[in-house]
Structure 1
Amino acid sequence: MPNHHILITRPEPENQLSCERVIAHGWHAASLPMLAIEAINDPQKIAQIRSQVFNIDEFNYVIFVSKNAARLACEWLDQCWPMLPIGVNWIGIGQGTTQTLLDEGVPAIANPGHTTEALLAWLKPVKMRDQKVLIVRGHGGRPELGQQLEDRGAKVSYLSLYERKKPLYHAQTFFMLPDINLIWVTSGEGLTHLSEYVMQHKPEWLSLPIFTPSERVNQLALELGWKKASCAHGADDTSLINATEIHTGL
């Protein structure tokens, strides 16, 4: 597959890192982020974030839902906690998120699997009763994790550090891309944005192989009209590369 191009749609700054790994494999990468991550900058909200981070030692579990949540949270922890509090269980959903935390000195552990559903299966209900849980995420993230933890008796709070927005692209952006042979998506929201653009500018892409991070997102891809959607069982580069190698026979 040396002459084929893989479209990488994850947000920056991770998109550039994914492109570098694809190129290191001898493949070609085309960057087209389908989510824009913007740190919250409203002064009132920033004051609330600072207060929550100063009180993070009150929680039994702190769960990070994405690399961006982990990256931005580490910046806040550096400001507010010269030494991390003791007694907090730091958990990243997926290996990539957990590695981001470890690289910043946060002793995080990852659940087996890469999804919210896998995390819920791993956190035994009896252990969550009356536990204080902080979910670090983007504004308006998926509610399932918090709802199900509350159903198990946990006391759930949220720390929203960023907003996710649809990037603005014009028709020329798509016509300037090389011929795409395969697509990576890393979230349901990014897939939805991509699908909207594809229906408008590149409907033929719906016949291309597209790799998704979970069965949930894969089902969404099929519902949105993608004919060759496959689950890579992870949003991290390693999972997507492995799935691509199996698909191409390389």
Structure 2
Amino acid sequence: MTTVVLTRPKGKNDRLAQALCQLGVQSVELPALAIARTFTVLPQDYDPQGFDLLIFVSAQAAQLYLEALTAAGKTLAAGTRIATVGAASAQPFYQQPQHSSWQLIHPPASHPRQDSEALWVLLQPLLPDVQRVLLVRGQQGREWLSQQLLGQGKILTRCCIYQRLAAQWSAKDAIQLQPDLVKPQSVVFLLTSSESTRSIYHNIVRLGWESLWQQAQFVAIHPRIADCLIELSAFTPAQAAAQIHVCAPTETAMLEALRSVALP
């Protein structure tokens, strides 16, 4: 039986694990990263009323910002422009009762790219009316979107609302996985960021499982993550084509990709 390794931060894997179980697919939860809030009450410097556009790079950033905003006793005003890098990243806003009063901008769920580049295309018509931009993100991340905004002369404020801490898998964690790793192609790793991919790989190396890693299957939610995996693992083109499967970063797409790999 194939085992799916769910590697998102703790608390983010439950729905996917339940859905896989209903399909008869076994899964284990081994988070690659832990999320630590930078603050719980929104500082005045990041008050949404001081900006023409708010950009969020992940659903995690959006959710933590909303919670910090509420803790500060504030709300998003009607007409607030809110941009996210994908449809999944916008979900925390759509779950708010007043979401219809905001201007939500993101690539549609059907778009093949759910990333900064796709969002940048959508932002082009708005740029003449935008001067002050708040970019809400983790402490580490790509600088591409920041560079585009600065290149257009925008006043950019970065709000680092969380940090990602690499998780170190314990011997107890490893016991969950070891019986499956010794069987070729019986493990599928879900990879949801380049940073988490590096963390997973470092755990594999520390545990001495590099040769077994070379036989595993992988589902990555962006081609950039697949490229990171190829670089880390020194996969040949043939290995990459056979072992890496790229899907959209939605729960539905991840579930379908994992199902198709685990139950070919």
> What range is the shorter-chain TM-score in?
0.7 to 0.9
Partner of 2:155: 155
User: 2:32–2:196: 8 Å Cα contact kept in structure 1?
Assistant: yes
130-139 or 17-26: bigger deviation: 17-26
Of all paired residues, the percent bearing the same amino acid is: 24
Partner of 2:206: 200
The aligned runs of 1:86-125 (5 Å cut-off) are 86-105=78-97, 107=99, 108-112=104-108, 113-124=113-124
For residues 168 and 92 of structure 1, what CA distance do their matches in structure 2 show? Answer: 30
Pair 1:213 & 2:221 matched: yes
CA displacement 1:129-157 (0-9 Å, x = unmatched): 45321111112332111111221332221
Deviation of the 1:81 alpha carbon: 5.0
Pair 1:229 & 2:221 matched: no
Partner of 2:3: 5
> Per the alignment, in what secondary structure is the counterpart of residue 119 of structure 1?
helix
224-233 or 203-212: bigger deviation: 224-233
Number of aligned residue pairs: 240
Letter of the structure 2 residue corresponding to residue 110 of structure 1: H
The aligned runs of 1:3-152 (5 Å cut-off) are 3-41=1-39, 49-53=42-46, 55-80=47-72, 82-105=74-97, 107=99, 108-112=104-108, 113-124=113-124, 127-129=126-128, 130-152=130-152
Compared CA separation, residues 98 and 24, structure 1 to 2 (3 A) = farther
User: 2:218–2:245: 8 Å Cα contact kept in structure 1?
Assistant: yes
Give the aligned CA root-mean-square deviation in angstroms.
2.3
Compared CA separation, residues 91 and 222, structure 1 to 2 (3 A) = same
Letter of the structure 2 residue corresponding to residue 218 of structure 1: A
Q: Which runs of 4+ in 1 moved over 3 A?
A: 80-83, 245-250
For residues 38 and 105 of structure 1, what CA distance do their matches in structure 2 show? Answer: 27
For residues 156 and 238 of structure 1, what CA distance do their matches in structure 2 show? Answer: 34
TM-score by length of 1: 0.85
For residues 20 and 246 of structure 1, what CA distance do their matches in structure 2 show? Answer: 16
Deviation of the 1:249 alpha carbon: 6.2
Compared CA separation, residues 85 and 221, structure 1 to 2 (3 A) = same
> Per the alignment, in what secondary structure is the counterpart of residue 214 of structure 2?
helix
For residues 73 and 84 of structure 2, what CA distance do their matches in structure 1 show? Answer: 19
Compared CA separation, residues 152 and 23, structure 1 to 2 (3 A) = farther
> Per the alignment, in what secondary structure is the counterpart of residue 84 of structure 1?
coil
> Per the alignment, in what secondary structure is the counterpart of residue 220 of structure 1?
helix
Gaps of 5+ in 2: 181-185
For residues 54 and 137 of structure 2, what CA distance do their matches in structure 1 show? Answer: 11
Letter of the structure 2 residue corresponding to residue 62 of structure 1: L
> Per the alignment, in what secondary structure is the counterpart of residue 211 of structure 1?
strand
